[in-house]
Chains A and B, each alone.
Chain A
C-alpha cells in the first residue's frame, strides 16, 4: 500500500512545459470568445435596425462557437494548476 518516497524528476515531465504553453493560449481563447459574443450582440442589433449581415443560424453558430472557445479556454486555464503537480514516486 505504501509507495517509496522517491523524488520526482522534473526533466521527465514534459507536460509541465506544455502546461505553461497552454496557459498562454487560454487567455487568448477567453478574449476571443468574448469578442465573438459581443459581435453576435452587435449583429442582433443590426438585425433590429434592418441591417442583417448574417441570418439567425449564422448568429447561433457564432454563439455556439464562442461558448466552445470559452469552454476550451476555461479548461486550459484550470488545467495548468493541476498538471504542475509532481506526483510522488512517478
Chain B
C-alpha cells in the first residue's frame, strides 16, 4: 500500500534543522503545484504539529486536496533528527490524498501510523532509495503486524473536519454534498446508450425491414406511403428493443437495494431523518437494530453491536463491533472491512445501537468499489458464441459471394433482368446461410437449461451451458458448498480421554462413544467431568434449537447451537436461574454466565471460550472425581490436544467453571469472576462435509477438471476439508492465504495455479478476482462459486459464475450466470455433464441442418447451368423448408440425454472446433447429396406418372418454369412439380432427425437410450396422473365468484378424469410402461417427444402449404397420393445408409469421411 505508492525519487535523505522548514523542503519534490501553501492552509500551524507527530520519532504531515488523481507520498529521513517542540523527528512522511476519498486517506494514515514506528531504525540505516523501498515493502508484506493502531476519535474528527458532538452544520453538509456527490451507487456504463440504440436499429431483423422500406421506393413498386410506414415500424421496433435491453442490466439495482433509504443523522446538534443519499463524509449517523448501514463510518458509540457483514465478506456469522480508541489486537493480518470499530455501507445492524461518523459515501464506500468492479467487467462472449459467430459470418460471406456470382452470371450471361437475377441471389443466399443456426443453438441451450434446472442448476445466460461443458477448473468456496454450512460437535476431550460424538446436523439425536464403545446416558451422567462440561455447554449458551418441518434449526450463533445440540444429545436439561451474563468479546475471547442451579445454594460461573484464553484463567482442573491444582504438565498436555484438534481443521472450545461461597454477593463483571477457574475440557466442532461431495470431486478428476478451493475460512480448516473430500491430484495439497497471494508476483501466482489443486484461505474479493483472472490468462475455462457481494467481481469475471440459491446474496445471483438451488457442489458436476451433452447435441442438429442445404442449392445451379431445365424449388420453397424443417425437429435433438461415458472424456479445448470445414463438407456432400437425389427421384416420379417424363429422358421434359420466373403465371402442373420436389425434403428429414440421435448406437437396439434415462422415462410414464385443478378452483372462488363458475366449467371434464384415475388411468399407464419396455424399438422412436412433435409440425405445415391459401404465397399445389407415398423413399434410403454406417462404427471403423 505504501511501497507501491512511494517513488524512489521522493525519498529524501539527510534532512536537518527545523521540522517546518524540512516539510517545506520536502514539498519541493512534489509533482503538485504549491503543495506547501496548501499544507499550511489546510492545517493551522499550531494544529499541524499536533496532528503530524505520531510518536517514536515519526511525523506525518498530511493534507487532502480536491481533484487529486492519486495519493502522493514523500518520505524524508533524518539521522540527526528534526526539531519539533521538545521532540526529535527522524522520519517524515508527507501525505497528500484526494479530498473526495476520505476513506482512502484514513486507510493510508492508519497504515503509516502503525508501520513506520516499527521500522524506523531500519529505515535510518539505509542510504539508498531502492533499499528503503525494499524495507517498507518487506515490512508491509512479510512482517505481519497483529495490532491495528487506531486513529483516535479526536483525530478522525479533525481529519474529517467535523464536530463529533453536534455534527456538521446544514450549510456545510450542503456544500459537501455538492463537492462529494450523492451517497448512491453510480452506473458505470462502458457501452454508450447510442451504440446500444444503433445496434437495435440495425439488427438482422431490422435490416430486413430497412430493405423492405427501401424496396417500396424502387421503380416498379412505387409505394412511398408504405415505405414511410415501414420506416416508422423499424424505428419504433428499434426503440422498443433498446428500452428492453437498457432496463435488463440490473446488477447495480441489486446493489442499490442493499443501501439504506433513510438515515438518522445529527446536524446542527439536532437529530433528524434524511434521505440516505444526502449523507456526506463527516456526518454523524445513528444506527438502530435492524437498520441497513447507509455509508462507511467509524463507530463513536456502540452498545452491544452486531453486524451482518455477509454482503461484503460472504461470512454469514454475525460480527461484533465496538467503539474503540485503544489499539485493537487482531490475530494475523486483517482486511479493512474486518476492522472492529468501523461499519460499512450495505451491511446491516443485527443487534444494538450505535453512533458513527461517516468517512465514505457513494462510490467511495467498500460496496461502491465492488459496484465499480462489477460493472467494469465486461461480460465476454462464450467460446461457443465466438465460434458460431465466426462460422455464420464465414458461411454468410461464402453464400453472399456465390449469390453475387450467380446474380452477375444470370444478369449478364443468362439474359435475366436484374430483378430476376436478384431473386436468384436471395434464393442462394437464403439456401446457404444457416440463418436458423443461432436460434436453434439457443433452443438447444435452453433445453440444456431445463434439464439442468431439474438437477438443481438454474442457468441465467444460455451460452453458459456450453461453457460449462468445457470447464477445466472449478474455483469453489467451502462453506455450504463442499460442507453442510452448520457446526457439529464431533469430539470431546476430558480427563485425558477422547469421546467421539455422532449425529446429523442440529438434530439432538446422536451417540457418545469412548474407545469404540457407545456410552449410555447413565454412563455419561456418572462421568462427573463430562457431565459438568455438558452442563457448561448447555448453561453458558444463548442459542436455541427449534424444530421446523422435522428439521432442527438454530436460533442464534451456530457454534452455540452445536453445543446446545451436544448437551441435548446427552439428555441435559439443566434447570437454573441466570444471574449475570458476560458476553463474548473478541478481545478476551470468551464468555461466561453466573447461574444459580436448581436446589443449589451457591451460584456457579460457567465459562467457555478460546482454549488458550480460557486455560489462562484456570488454576485447577476437574479430574474425574475431585478438583486439584493444574500443573504445568497438564497445561502442556491440554494445549497439545488443542493443537492436535486445530491442526485437523476443527474449531476448539475450552470449558471451565467455578463455584463456592465467594461468588455470593460478589460483582459478576468479567474481570472479577473469570479467574481461578476449574478447567473441564475441550470440545471440537466442525462443519461436516456433504456426503455426495467426495464422489463429485472424483468425477471431476476423471473428467479432467481441477478443483481449487477459495475460502474465507482459515487455511487449516480449508486444508482439512480439502483432504476429506479428496482434493489434491498428485497427493499434495498446498494452501496459501490471501496475504500470501498479495505478496506473489504474477509469475509466482501462475506457478502456484499450474500445480494441480490448491487451497486459498482468508482471501479478499480482489484476491479471488486476481486468481480467476490469472487462470483465464492461462487459458483455463473457469467456473467460480460465490454467495456474497464480495464475490460479485469474480463471478462476473469467470467464464461461468455460479451463485448459491439458498444462502446467496441477490448481488451475487445477479452477477452469476448460474444459480445452484441446493448450494451443492455435486450439482455443479451434474451441470457440467449436461453442458457436455449440450455440445454433443449441437453437433447433431447442426449436421441435421446442413444436410438439407444442398437440396435447396442444387436446383438453382442446374437451372442456371443447363438452359431449358426447369427450376425445381423456388425462393418461397426455400423459405418453407427453412421454417418447416429447421426448427422443431432440431429442438428435439437438443433434448437428447447425455451419452454413456461422457464424463470420462477430457474437457473440450477452448479452441476446439464445433464446426470444421470437414464437418460442413461431409454433411453437405454426403448426406446432403443423398437427400437431394431422393428429392429429384420423387420429382421425376411425379413427371413419370403425369406423363411428362420417361426413363432415360433428361430433366428438360419436366413441366417448364414460367418465362421470367413469373410464378403467378405458372401452370398448375408446374406448381405440382414444385410440391413433388419439396415434400421429400420433409420426409427425408424425418429419418435424418432420428439418425442424428446417436453416433454409433442403432435406433433399433435396446442400447440406444442409456439405461438411466430409459428407466426415468418409463417411470414417468407409469406414474403419469391427470393434473389436479381443485386448488385453483378454490382460490378463484375466493377472489371472484364469476371466475369460479367459468373455471369450474372449463375444467369439469378434467375432474371426470380424476374419477377414472384408479380404475382406468393407473392400470393403463402401468401397462403402457411395461409394453414400451418390452417393445424397445417403438419406445426408441417415441422417447423424444419433441422430435415426434416436430414431425407432426412438419407434416401439418406441409398440409397448410399444399391445401390452404398459403399455397398461393409459397407456390405449391396438391399432388396425387402415390407421389406422397413415393416421397418416403428417401426415408428408407437414409435409414439404411445411417444404420450401415453405425454398424461399421460398432465394428471399429470410425468412417469420419462419411460425416
Contacts and interface: CB of A to CB of B under 8 A. Distances in A.
Contacts of A41: 208, 211-212, 215, 426
Contacts of B886: 31
Interface string B802-832: 0001111110011000010100000000000
Nearest to B238: A67
B882 A1 contact: no
Contacts of A20: 446, 449-450, 453
Contact of A60 (B221, B226, B806, B969): B226
Interface in A1-18: 1-2, 5, 7-8, 10, 16-17
Contacts, number: 177
A34 B233 contact: no
A69 B275 CA distance: 43
A61 to B, nearest CB: 10
A34 B205 contact: yes
Given A71-B244, A85-B814, A86-B808, 4 more contacts: A42-B875, A48-B215, A60-B226, A82-B248
Interface string B201-214: 00011001101100
Interface in B203-258: 204-205, 208-209, 211-212, 215-216, 218-221, 223, 225-226, 229-230, 233, 236-237, 240-241, 244-245, 248, 250
A47 B223 contact: yes
Contact of A27 (B208, B435, B440): B440
A68 B864 CA distance: 38
Interface stretch (B407-415, B456-464, B915-923, B1144-1152): B456-464
A32 B883 contact: yes
Closest 8 CB pairs of A and B: A48-B220, A37-B208, A27-B439, A44-B215, A10-B821, A51-B968, A67-B237, A2-B290
Contacts of A39: 876, 879, 1113
Contacts of A2: 290-292, 348-350
A29 B968 CA distance: 29
Interface string B421-448: 0110010001000011001101100110
A41 to B, nearest CB: 5
Contact of B449 (A23, A35, A44, A50): A23
B575 interface: no
B807 A38 contact: no
10 contacts: A2-B350, A5-B316, A8-B805, A17-B453, A23-B446, A26-B442, A31-B887, A45-B422, A84-B458, A85-B813
A71 B237 contact: yes
A75 to B, nearest CB: 6
A81 B1113 contact: no
A32 B1097 CA distance: 14
B223 A86 contact: no
A40 B212 contact: yes
Interface of B: 204-205, 208-209, 211-212, 215-216, 218-221, 223, 225-226, 229-230, 233, 236-237, 240-241, 244-245, 248, 250, 260-262, 290-292, 308, 310, 316, 348-350, 419-420, 422-423, 426, 430, 435-436, 439-440, 442-443, 446-447, 449-450, 453, 458, 460-462, 805-810, 813-814, 819, 821, 875-876, 879, 882-883, 886-887, 891, 964-969, 1112-1113
A46 B807 CA distance: 60
Nearest to B445: A23
Contacts of B226: 56, 59-60
Given A10-B821, A20-B453, A78-B245, A87 B810 contact: yes
A81 B250 CA distance: 10
A74 B248 CA distance: 11
Nearest to A21: B450
B1074 to A, nearest CB: 30
Contact of A1 (B290, B807, B964): B290
Contacts of A35: 879, 882-883
A30 B439 contact: yes
Contacts of A38: 208, 430, 879
A71 B240 contact: yes
Contacts of B245: 78
Contact of B220 (A24, A30, A47, A75): A47
Nearest to A62: B212
Interface residues of A, number: 58
A37 to B, nearest CB: 4
B983 to A, nearest CB: 20
A14 B1002 CA distance: 38
B435 A34 contact: yes
Best-surrounded residue of A10, A45, A78 (most CB of chain B within 10 A): A45
Contacts of A30: 205, 439
B426 A42 contact: yes
B262 A1 contact: yes
A31 B290 CA distance: 50
Contact of A5 (B229, B310, B967): B310
A53 B1113 contact: yes
Nearest to B236: A67
B259 to A, nearest CB: 10
Does more than half of chain B's interface fall in helix, strand or loop, or is it mixed?
helix
Contacts of B225: 56
A45 B211 CA distance: 11
Contacts of B350: 2
Nearest to B208: A37
Contact of B250 (A46, A64, A82): A82
B453 to A, nearest CB: 6
Nearest to B964: A49
A7 B485 CA distance: 13
Given A49-B420, A49-B966, A44 B435 contact: no
B458 to A, nearest CB: 5
B388 to A, nearest CB: 13
B291 A88 contact: no
Contacts of B348: 2
A38 B285 CA distance: 62
A2 B294 CA distance: 12
Contacts of B882: 35
A82 B221 CA distance: 44
Contacts of B423: 42, 45, 49
B258 to A, nearest CB: 10
Given A42-B875, A44-B221, A37 B209 contact: yes
A23 B463 CA distance: 13
A5 B423 CA distance: 63
Nearest to A59: B226
Contacts of A51: 966-969
A54 B883 CA distance: 21
A23 B966 contact: no
Given A53-B968, A78-B244, A60 B290 contact: no
A39 B216 CA distance: 14
A69 to B, nearest CB: 10
Contacts of B965: 49
A2 to B, nearest CB: 4
B436 A31 contact: yes
B883 A53 contact: no
Given A24-B891, A37-B208, A16 B875 contact: no
A54 B1109 CA distance: 12
Contacts of B426: 41-42, 45
Contacts of A33: 205
Contact of A49 (B230, B248, B419, B1112): B419
Best-surrounded residue of B223, B261, B430 (most CB of chain A within 10 A): B223
A60 B348 CA distance: 56
A85 B810 contact: yes
Nearest to B458: A84
B248 A27 contact: no
A78 B248 contact: yes
B310 A37 contact: no
Contacts of A80: 460
Given A53-B1113, A60-B230, A48 B419 contact: yes
A84 B966 contact: no
Contacts of A7: 806-807
Best-surrounded residue of A5, A44, A64 (most CB of chain B within 10 A): A44
